[in-house]
Amino acid sequence: MEVWHNIRNRDNPVSWVNMVWFGQCIPRHSFHLWLVIKNKLRTQDRLRVWEAGSETNLRLMCCPLCQHDRDSRDHLFFSCDFASQVWREVRAMVDMDTVSGSWVSILEWMERYSNSNTLDRVVCKLVIAAASYYIWQERNNRLFNRSQGSVSQIAEKIKHTVQLRLMDFKLQKRMDYKRVVTRWQIPERVLIEDPG
């Protein structure tokens, strides 16, 4: 065990750890969000650093979602016109209107509320992770499968995924949960009686 502790590289704790890894997370979304935060996705700006392909091909690259800028983490989440529309639609479900579509703004919000376990904040965490996951999935579908989803289709996937995850929670019939339950259309049969 001592050898393990000696060879294991331990970085300083990061302020956003509980934003990514929390009890109610969707593991594949959390893993993806971790890659986004660490800027480890294979976006076009990173390919350029690796000098993949000819210079001519790199100049022709553009974001598969909006057909403008080269895709990068900061562009895809959520400055790209397409991603920005998806983000506006889903952030309205969690009252994150003050959080712009810039990655810096989203990261600041994550750092500020990372340790919060209120239902509202947990739902926000789920929405951010699901939005980044499905935007990336749409980007890859357009690049590799030649299929395209609309803004409303992607937003509905995100909303549906979060709704299904919420239905798995043991939500009590509490007044402070009523707004979340109503907004996300959680059936009454899912709710349990408040023991207090």
| In the predicted structure, residue 131 carries a pLDDT above the cut 60 | yes
Cα distance between residue 44 and residue 26, in whole Å? 27
Q: Between 4 and 49, whose confidence is greater?
A: 4
pLDDT > 90 in the chain, percent: 39
Confidence of residue 50 (pLDDT cuts 50, 70, 90): low
Count of alpha carbons within 13 angstroms of residue 59, beta-carbon side:
3
Residues forming a β-bridge with 192: 172
Q: What is the pLDDT of residue 165?
A: 94
Amino acid in the structure at residue 121? R
